[in-house]
Amino acid sequence: MAVSDGDTVTVVKDMGLVATVFDERKLSGLQGHLAIGHTRYSTHGASDWDGAQPVYKPVGRAGFALGHNGNLTNTAELAEKVGMLPGSIATDSDVVAELLAHAFPETGELAGALQAVLPIVEGAFSFVLMNTQKLFGVRDPYGFRPLCLGRLGPEDAPEGWVLASETPALSVIGATFVREIDPGELVVIDGDGVRSLQIPWLKEVSPRLCIFEFAYIARPDSKLYGREVHETRCRMGELLARQSPVEADLVMGVPESGVPAAEGFARASGIPYGQGLVKNRYIGRTFIAPDPQTRGDAVRRKLNPLPETVTGKRLVVVDDSIVRGTTQRSVVRMLREAGATEVHLRISSPPWRWPCFYGIDTPSTDELLAANHSIEEITEILGADSLAYISVENLKAAIGVGGDAVSGRAAPGSAATGRSTGAGHGGGFCDACFTGDYPTSTPTSTPVLFTRPEEPPAEYQAQFPGV
């Protein structure tokens, strides 16, 4: 994280979980009135200390720090612009920091540098930035990744402002949700409050929030486009039950993100809901192992069946997604070994056939099960009695699209907005990993650009759903 006391920006960062990186001693040294933090795993560039964020650049009196959610798609072109050599770059975020540093002398301040640089940056970015005096938040024009604004203290006498990727981050610190930052919006926060600045984007685009945020990525208590994610997941299960019904004795979810959709499936189908798998909550984050055998073993350590619940039962097992199929293959085998007579898989996202270039670490197309096999083949590979995925149309219907989907926006011109545009964007989605319909051009030079080792160390690879 980066902290400013008004004179100096101090950055402390490291690899690992927050609780292991920050202890009381480290936190007590971070005094100030302004801070940004970043906990995202690396999906682009090196999984090492250099790739950890916030990125810091010493420009002007004290420099600035930047945290980035998303991945850029024109990193190679941008790197060339500022003379960064392939192989010398830790992450795409590094390139943005370098561009801002180059623009700084001309504009003389960070807001101007952002307005000059952002129009040429393509891809997915929700940035938070800070210097010694100001906090900035910006979303790319598509709004691939979320970013919201919260307030500390009462509305008529705010005591502070907060930017966060997800709304639950506000409530845990006692802040009140104010609104989502609009796609394409730049907000500046300082002693005078919050205001919106115009960015001369090169083209007008329709917002395309990542639809997989709803299916898996976001916390269930998050609100996106004004919808509570947990409730949308329950509705995915309901629509899946109507779309692909099956006769069975028990509906269960693969913990934890498959559980709400399983509840919805049970509600709509009338089949009793039960917990057939227990998740080992003490494992914490499960890391991707480098080979299929080790990945399968990891799933077995993480999930354990409840034989008395599943023995002799025809099961509907609901999961959020299938990527390589490792989890589902292990789950089906475990449940059969525990006594289930039938296992019917129902998946609350569509077949994952294309890689993501916008901030989700997907394996290559060769490893995406649905990119290379028919539904019948996948059913056989996973050892299930039947398999059905929710359709893209039902996924969108479960979330509910159309109209002015962004709720919570304060009235135009109020202190919390300073912005009156962007309303009524209709809640559009990116669904490229399911449809191949990429909203932007896709990058071509990622493998040679970064200093990323060919096989990132297993202990630093973050868990991906359904591996």
Within positions 143 to 182, which residues make up the interface with ligand SF4, using CB under 6 A? Answer: 144
CB of 352 to ligand SF4, least distance (A): 8
d(CA 380, CA 365): 20
Q: Which of 116, 138, 148, 211 binds ligand SF4 (CB under 6 A)?
A: 211
Q: Which of 254, 431, 449, 461 binds ligand SF4 (CB under 6 A)?
A: 431
In one-letter notation, the amino acid at residue 112 is: G
CB of 437 to ligand SF4, least distance (A): 9
In this structure, the strands spanning 55-57 and 9-11 are unpaired
Q: Which of 2, 34, 189, 210 binds ligand SF4 (CB under 6 A)?
A: 210
DSSP E strands in 49-119: the ranges are 55-57, 64-69
DSSP for residue 70: S
d(CA 158, CA 152): 6
Q: Which of 356, 378, 405, 406 binds ligand SF4 (CB under 6 A)?
A: 356
**Pick 252 or 356: Cβ nearer ligand SF4:** 356
Please tell me the number of Cα atoms within 13 Å of 347 on its side-chain side: 26
d(CA 206, CA 174): 33
CB of 357 to ligand SF4, least distance (A): 7
Q: Does 225 sit near ligand SF4 (CB under 6 A)?
A: no
Within positions 176 to 205, which residues make up the interface with ligand SF4, using CB under 6 A? Answer: none
Angle at 462 between CA 457 and CA 463, to 5 degrees: 125
Q: Are 353 and 362 in contact (CB under 8 A)?
A: no
Q: Does 343 sit near ligand SF4 (CB under 6 A)?
A: no
d(CA 329, CA 338): 14
Q: Does 214 sit near ligand SF4 (CB under 6 A)?
A: no
Classify 339 in phi/psi space as left (phi over 0), alpha (psi -120 to 50) or beta.
Answer: left
Neighbour tally for 278: CB within 10 Å: 13
Q: Does 212 sit near ligand SF4 (CB under 6 A)?
A: yes
CB of 209 to ligand SF4, least distance (A): 8
Q: Which of 3, 224, 252, 432 binds ligand SF4 (CB under 6 A)?
A: 432
- DSSP string for 27-54: HHT---SEEE---PPPSSS-SSGGG-SS
The region of 22-30, 206-214, 219-227, 311-319 touching ligand SF4 under the rule CB under 6 A is 206-214
CB of 144 to ligand SF4, least distance (A): 5
Q: Does 433 sit near ligand SF4 (CB under 6 A)?
A: yes
**Pick 125 or 273: Cβ nearer ligand SF4:** 125
Phi and psi at residue 96, to the nearest 5°: -65, -45
Burial class (CB in 10 A: 0-12, 13-18, 19+), 7: exposed
For residues 394-406, one letter each, b for 16 or more C-beta atoms within 10 angstroms of the residue's C-beta and e for the rest, the string is bbbebbeeeeebb
Site size toward ligand SF4 (CB under 6 A) is 11
CB of 340 to ligand SF4, least distance (A): 31
CB of 409 to ligand SF4, least distance (A): 23
**Pick 4 or 42: Cβ nearer ligand SF4:** 42
Q: Does 358 sit near ligand SF4 (CB under 6 A)?
A: yes
Q: Which of 129, 241, 252, 430 binds ligand SF4 (CB under 6 A)?
A: 430
Contacting positions for ligand SF4 (CB under 6 A): 144, 210-212, 356, 358, 360, 430-433
